[in-house]
Structure 1
Amino acid sequence: MPKINKSLILLSISFFSLKSFALNINIPQDIANNTSISVYDISSQKPVLDYKANTPRLIASNMKLVTTYVGLQRLGADFRWQTRVGYTGTIESGVLNGDLIIIGGGDPNLSADELAAAIATLKINKITGNVIYSNQYFRDQTKNSELYPEPFAEYSAEPSGLLINQGLTRVSINLNNANKVTFANPQVLDYTINSNRLNVDTKVNAACPYPDTFITISANQKTLYPSGTIPYSCTGKDMTVYIPNNKLYDNNAIAKILSQSSIQYNSIIANQLPESTITFASTKYSESLGAIIYTMNQQSNNLYAKTIFMTRNNESTPTTYTQSKTSYLDTLNKEFKFNELNQHSLENGSGLSRHEKLTTEHMIQLLNNLYSSPNKDLVLQSLPTPGNNQSTLSREFINYSNMLFVKTGTLSDVKAYSGYFINQKGNVYSVSFVINGLNDSKTKQQQLNDFKQTIQNILDQLNKSN
C-alpha cells in the first residue's frame, strides 16, 4: 500500500466559467469533515467550487443574511417603526387634564432623548391623570438556544413594543488606589453590582475599545457579578448591562424623562390603554429598515435581527412570536426550499441558536438572489469588509479590503463567512465558508487558523482568475 500523507486532503476543482482552470485547494484533515465551502461566479453565472455544500451546518450570524432578505421582502427598505405620543382629555395652560399616552411600535433604537422630545411637543408641566404606555406591539419574545447564555450581556437584548435605549445601562469602570475595580454607579434598576470578581491587568497595555469583550456578567438574586480580567485601558470606559425586564426599564426611563422635564404626574401604568378617545400629537419614526440592516450586518446586532424577525408586516398590527415565525418561513418559501429551516428549527433570525442551520449551497442561492435584486447596493454596503474598525471583519483578510464583503458568524464552536468577493478584474463571486465542531480547546485555534488559511488560499486564486 502506498504511503498517504494524512495531514492534507488535496482537492482539485475546475472552474465552470468561460475560461476554465484548476482551483487547487488544500484542506487540512483536522477541518475536512466539519467544513463546507461554496463559491459561485456571478459574472458568468456558473458554480466554481462546492465542498460538502449540501451538509446542513450552524451558520451563526450568517443567519442575519436570511433575515436581511426576509425583512426587505416583507417590509421594504424604507420601512420605519413608529412610536406615538398622545393624550386623553384636554390641555389648558400647560396642564393635561387626562392621561399621557405612549404607544410603542417596536423601534429597536428609540432613545430616551427622542421620547422626551416627543413628549415635549405637548408643552405640558402637569398631568392630572396617569402616564399610560403600551409595549405590546410584540406580544411575546423570541426563542433562543445557546450553549453558554449570558442574559445580562448587551447582545442578549430582546425586542419590545416600547424599548428605550435598547434596555441598556452603561456603568463607568473606575479604579481605586489599590487598582481594584469600582463603579461610579453600582446600582442598575433593582440590581446591585459587585466588582469583587473583576480584575485589572496593569502590566499589559492592550487596547480596550469595548470593555464588554472581556467581561461576563452572572447574577445571584439581585446582585450582578461581572467577572474577567480587563486591560488597564478599560478604566474610565463603560460596561454595558442589560436587565431582562423591559417593563421595569421602561417604567424607570419614563419616570426619569418626566422628572428631568419637570412634569408632575400620578402613576405610570403599562398596557392598560383607556377606552376614551386618544389624540395623537407626535409620531417618532425610527431609522429606515435599510439603515437598521446596515448596522445589523456591520456590527452583528442581534436585537436588530430579532426585531426584523418579529415585524411581520408594514402595518401597526401587534404580532405574536408564532405569527412572526410563520410569516418569516412563508416569505422564504416563496423563493427558496430551505428544508433545514422550519417551524421546529427556526428560532429568532439572528443566528443565536443551536438549531438554525443551512447549507453553503443554500447560502449561495440566497446571496445570488440578493445580488440580482433592486437592493443589491444596500446589501453589499451593509456587509463588513476588512480594515473597517467599526465592523466585525476589521482585522481579517486585510489584503482584500473593499474586495471582500462578507457577513461574519461566530459561536463558541462555529465560524462562518458568507457574502461577495470582487477580484482585481471586477469579477464578482458569491462565497460561503462555514466550519462547525470547534469544540476542543486544545485544537480549536489551529483549526481556526487552518480554516482561515483555506479561505485565504481560495481568495488568492479567485483574485488571479480572468
Structure 2
Amino acid sequence: MPIFYFISLRKFIFSICLFFYCLSTLSQKIQPYQKLQKALEDLEKDSILNNGYVGFCLKNISTRQVVFEKNSKKTMLIASCMKLFSTATALEILGKDYTFKTQLAYTGKIESGVLQGDLYIIGGGDPTLGSPDFPNKPNANQVFETWANNLKRLGIKEIQGKIIGNGSYFDQNAISKGWIWEDMGNYYGSAVYGLNIHDNEYKLLLKPSTTLGEEVKILGTEPVLPFLNFKGSIKTAAKGTGDNAYIDGYVMHNDRFLSGTIPQKDSFFIKGALPNPAYTTAYLLSQYLNKKSIKIAQEPSFSYDSVPNEAINILEIKSPTLAEIVREINLFSINLYAEGIFKQIGKSKNTEKEAGKIIQDYWKGKGMDISGLEIGDGSGLSMKNGVSAYHLAELLSLMSKSSSYDVFNQSLPIAGISGTMTNWLKSTTLQGNLRAKTGSMKGVIAIAGYFTNAQGEKMSFSIIANRYQGTYSQMRKKFEKVFLAMQMP
C-alpha cells in the first residue's frame, strides 16, 4: 500500500478531529445565547405577558457591541429607570461636587433687637433641605435651630415684617410633563420647587375603627399643618390588608382628598405631598421662632417673585454633594431628588422646562441613537416618557467610559445586598456581582445595570416589560431566570 495513502488517511482523521473540536468550541460559545434566547422566549409566551411585551438588550462594554437583543429598539415606559438618565446626565453636566444652596436673608434694618423689615428664606432648588436621609446634614428642626441661632447672633428678638418663603428659583408650576392626578398628592409624587423642606412630605396620623368598614379618625398631621383641608374618607379594613389609602390634591392648593382603606391597628399613618413647600417652610420657621421667644408681627407668607436686591444675606446652607444625592436617588429610588437634579440640568442651561431635550442632546453628542427617546421628567412618573432597552444599555455603556463612572456605578443597588435590589438574585452566582437600577409602576417593570460575566467581561444590560398582568414578585422571579441565562459559561 503506497505511503501517501497512510499520510492522506492521517490528514483525514486529523481533519475530522479538528472539525469536531471546532464544532464543540462553537457550541460552547453559542450555548449561553441559546439559553438566553429560550429564557426570553419562555417569558414572552408566559401568560403574565398575554397582553404585554418585553424588550431586552445586552452589550459588551469593552467592544460596545450588542451581543444579544430582543425588541431592543421598542420605546416603552421604564418607570424609575428614568433616574439613570437624570443621575448620569447630572454627574456629566453639573459634576459630582455640585451643591444646591439655600439662603436666609433680610430686608430693612435691625435696631434695638427689632428687625424692621422681612425675613426671607431664599430657595436654591435644594430637594434635600431638612431631609432625614443625610446624617451629616441638618434635619428640618436642626435647620430651623440654625436659622434661629443666627438671628439671635444678630440680636434679633422681634420681626416687624413677615417671614417669606421664596421659591422663585424654579417655576411655580412644579408638575413635570405627563404626571397623573393619582400621584400628585401622595408622598412619592411630591413635586420639587425652588424652596423645599423635609422631602416635601408630611404624615397623616390616623386611628382605625374597631368596626370594619367604618371611617378612620384623623388625629392630625406631623408636623402640625392646620392649613391643610382633608376631605373624603378612609375606611377600616381587616388586619393584614396593608396600606391601600390615598391622598389626592393638586399643587398650590390646600384641599386634600382621602380615599381607600387601612388595616385595623392601634394607630396608623400615611404620607402625603406638601402642596406649597415655600409657604410651609415659612410657617414652620415662624412657629419655631415663637417657641424661641422671637416675636413675629405678621403672618408667614410665600413668594415666587424675585427677591429684593437690597436683601442682606445672613446665612447659606449647602446641600450634600451631587455624588451623595445621586447615591440616594439610585439606591432608594427617591423621586423628589431625581426631579430636583432634572430641573437643575435645565437651569444650568437657562431653560428649566427643556431639561429633557438637554439630556437627549447630550447623549446624542456622545454617539447614542436617540430615535424614539422621549423624556418627560426626571423620576419616571411621567406617562410621556418613552425609552428603549437599547437606550438604557447604551447609556450604561457610555457611562462606563466617563470620569463620573465610579460615582455612578457605586450608586447602583447590588443584587441580593442593597437598596431596591436587596431581594433580587439571592444565593445565585449574580448576588454581589450585578448592580442595577429597578423601576416599577402598575403594569411596568424595568431593570438596567452592569455585571461581570464568567469570562471577566463587563456587560451592560436592560430588560423592560410593559402591560404585564401579575405581581411584582412574580415578574421578579421570571426576570431572574433571564438574568441567570445571560451569564457566560
Q: TM-score of the superposition, structure 1-length normalised?
A: 0.81
What are the ranges of 5 or more consecutive residues in structure 2 without an aligned counterpart?
1-24, 131-139
Shift of 1:372: 2.0
C-alpha RMSD of the superposition: 3.4
CA contact (8 A) 2:331 2:413 kept: yes
After superposition, the Cα gap between the structure-2 partners of 1:222 and 1:273, relative to the gap in structure 1 and judged at 3 Å, is closer
Match of 2:470 in 1: 445
CA contact (8 A) 1:198 1:226 kept: no
Q: Distance in 1 between matches of 2:417 and 2:259?
A: 29
Amino acid at match of 1:198: K
After superposition, the Cα gap between the structure-2 partners of 1:231 and 1:384, relative to the gap in structure 1 and judged at 3 Å, is farther
1:261 aligns to 2:292 (yes or no): yes
Q: How does 1:270-285 map to 2 (within 5 A)?
A: 270-271=302-303, 275=308, 277-285=310-318
Q: Distance in 2 between matches of 1:71 and 1:417?
A: 20
Amino acid at match of 1:307: G
Q: Distance in 1 between matches of 2:282 and 2:273?
A: 15
CA contact (8 A) 1:79 1:314 kept: no
CA contact (8 A) 1:154 1:168 kept: yes
CA contact (8 A) 1:325 1:346 kept: yes
Q: Distance in 1 between matches of 2:364 and 2:148?
A: 42
Q: Distance in 2 between matches of 1:81 and 1:365?
A: 29
Q: Secondary structure at the match of 1:421?
A: strand
Instruction: Give CA deviations for 1:69-117 in whole Å, capped at 9, x if unaligned.
Output: 2111221111111001122344355332333222110010112324411
Match of 1:71 in 2: 90
Q: Secondary structure at the match of 2:92?
A: helix
Amino acid at match of 2:463: F
Q: Secondary structure at the match of 2:83?
A: helix
Q: Secondary structure at the match of 1:328?
A: helix
Shift of 1:148: 6.5
CA contact (8 A) 1:407 1:419 kept: yes
Instruction: Give CA deviations for 1:232-276 in whole Å, capped at 9, x if unaligned.
Output: 56x545311114333443443233233233222233343355646
1:294 aligns to 2:294 (yes or no): no
1:429 aligns to 2:454 (yes or no): no
Amino acid at match of 1:57: M
Amino acid at match of 1:397: L
After superposition, the Cα gap between the structure-2 partners of 1:447 and 1:240, relative to the gap in structure 1 and judged at 3 Å, is closer
Shift of 1:383: 1.6
Match of 2:119 in 1: 100
After superposition, the Cα gap between the structure-2 partners of 1:347 and 1:460, relative to the gap in structure 1 and judged at 3 Å, is closer
Q: Distance in 2 between matches of 1:138 and 1:262?
A: 33
Q: Choose the corresponding residue for 1:396, options 419, 424, 430.
A: 424
Match of 2:396 in 1: 367
Match of 1:197 in 2: 234
Match of 1:461 in 2: 485
Q: Choose the corresponding residue for 1:162, options 195, 201, 205.
A: 195
Q: Choose the corresponding residue for 1:414, options 422, 426, 444.
A: 444
CA contact (8 A) 1:81 1:105 kept: yes
1:34 aligns to 2:53 (yes or no): yes
Q: Distance in 2 between matches of 1:447 and 1:236?
A: 28
Shift of 1:452: 4.1
After superposition, the Cα gap between the structure-2 partners of 1:413 and 1:144, relative to the gap in structure 1 and judged at 3 Å, is farther
Shift of 1:152: 1.2
What are the ranges of 5 or more consecutive residues in structure 1 without an aligned counterpart?
1-14, 439-443
Q: Secondary structure at the match of 2:375?
A: coil
Amino acid at match of 1:356: N
Q: Distance in 1 between matches of 2:296 and 2:466?
A: 55
Shift of 1:287: 1.1
Instruction: Give CA deviations for 1:262-296 in whole Å, capped at 9, x if unaligned.
Output: 22223334335564622212100011111111111
Q: Secondary structure at the match of 1:66?
A: helix
Q: Secondary structure at the match of 2:338?
A: helix
Q: Distance in 2 between matches of 1:380 and 1:191?
A: 41
Q: Distance in 2 between matches of 1:312 and 1:46?
A: 30
1:352 aligns to 2:381 (yes or no): yes
After superposition, the Cα gap between the structure-2 partners of 1:255 and 1:423, relative to the gap in structure 1 and judged at 3 Å, is same
Match of 2:70 in 1: 51
Larger radius of gyration: 2
Q: TM-score of the superposition, structure 2-length normalised?
A: 0.77
Shift of 1:352: 1.1
Amino acid at match of 1:163: N
CA contact (8 A) 2:206 2:218 kept: yes
Amino acid at match of 1:395: N
After superposition, the Cα gap between the structure-2 partners of 1:94 and 1:427, relative to the gap in structure 1 and judged at 3 Å, is farther
CA contact (8 A) 1:201 1:229 kept: no
